[in-house]
């Protein structure tokens, strides 16, 4: 179901309530489609471990009456992965929304999202583990990865810059959740 989240001002302008507004818009659209198909209940994949994190979108789920069976059963990420393994179902690795790579207050653009996606895809082929490419509105990039891989990253900086960034640097402290809030200068 097509949904252009950048048409929503709070998302495009990267306001503090972006995640809530985005989740609400997505799940309202899912709810409309479910109703059109005659479904009375909408469920999502939120699990018990998610409740320990700051997840503004969970408020939207609650407001819209969307059920989270894994969380309701007390199942965490490891429980779900074990069950999936037992059932022979593959589990995709978690991936945060690309808008989280852009510091709050910087406009979220298709260009910046495409640059981040291309850079992360390129780096994932060369560097194991979690990699985040943070991007400012002026297309400066900060690469977050395990410091053990920084030497390999240094050899890739020019290639990443050629994707269209104005400048590329490696975050010395490596990957950290919520890093977009702290590296903007």
What percentage of the chain reaches a pLDDT higher than 70? 94
pLDDT of residue 182: 57
CB 128 within 8 A of CB 173: no
Cα 182 to chain center, whole Å? Answer: 17
The number of CA neighbours under 13 Å toward the Cβ of 118 is 15
pLDDT of 180: 56
What pLDDT, in 10s, does the model give residues 23-82? 999 999 999 999 999 999 999 999 998 876 667 888 999 999 999 999 999 999 999 999
Q: What is the pTM of this model?
A: 0.82
Q: How confident is the model at residue 93 (pLDDT cuts 50, 70, 90)?
A: confident
What is the pLDDT at residue 131?
A: 93
Give the pLDDT score at 53: 67
Instruction: Pick the more confident residue, 56 or 16.
Output: 16
105-123 tens-digit pLDDT: 999 999 999 999 999 999 9
For residue 178, pLDDT beyond 70: no
Contact 27, 5 (CB under 8 A): no
Write down the pLDDT at residue 96.
83
Q: SS3 string of the chain?
A: CCCCHHHCHHHHCCCCCHHHHHHHHHHHHHHHHHHHCCCCCCECCCCHHHHHCCCCHHHHHHHHCCECHHHHCCCCHHHHHHHHHHHCCCCCCCCCCHHHHCCCCCCCCHHHHHHHHHHHHHHHCCCCCCCEEEECCCCEEEEECCHHHHHHHHCCHHHHHCCCCCEEEECCCCCCCCCHHHHCC
Confidence of residue 12 (pLDDT cuts 50, 70, 90): very high
């Amino acid at each position: 179901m097509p949904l252009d989240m950048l048409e929503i001002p709070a998302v495009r302008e990267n306001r503090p309530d972006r995640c809530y507004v985005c989740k609400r818009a997505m799940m309202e659209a899912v709810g409309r489609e479910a109703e059109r198909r005659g479904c009375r209940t909408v469920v999502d994949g939120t699990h018990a471990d998610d409740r320990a994190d700051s997840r503004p979108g969970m408020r939207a789920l609650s407001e819209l009456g969307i059920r989270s069976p894994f969380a309701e059963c007390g199942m965490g990420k490891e429980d779900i992965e074990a069950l999936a393994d037992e059932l022979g179902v593959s589990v995709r690795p978690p991936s945060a929304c690309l808008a989280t790579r852009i510091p709050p207050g910087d406009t979220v653009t298709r260009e910046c999202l495409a640059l981040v996606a291309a850079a992360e895809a390129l780096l994932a082929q060369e560097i194991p583990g979690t990699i985040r490419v943070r991007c400012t509105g002026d297309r400066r990039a900060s690469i977050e990865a395990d410091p053990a891989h920084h030497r390999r990253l240094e050899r890739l900086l020019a290639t990443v810059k050629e994707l269209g960034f104005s400048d590329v640097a490696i975050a010395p402290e490596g990957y950290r959740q919520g890093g977009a809030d702290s590296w903007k200068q």
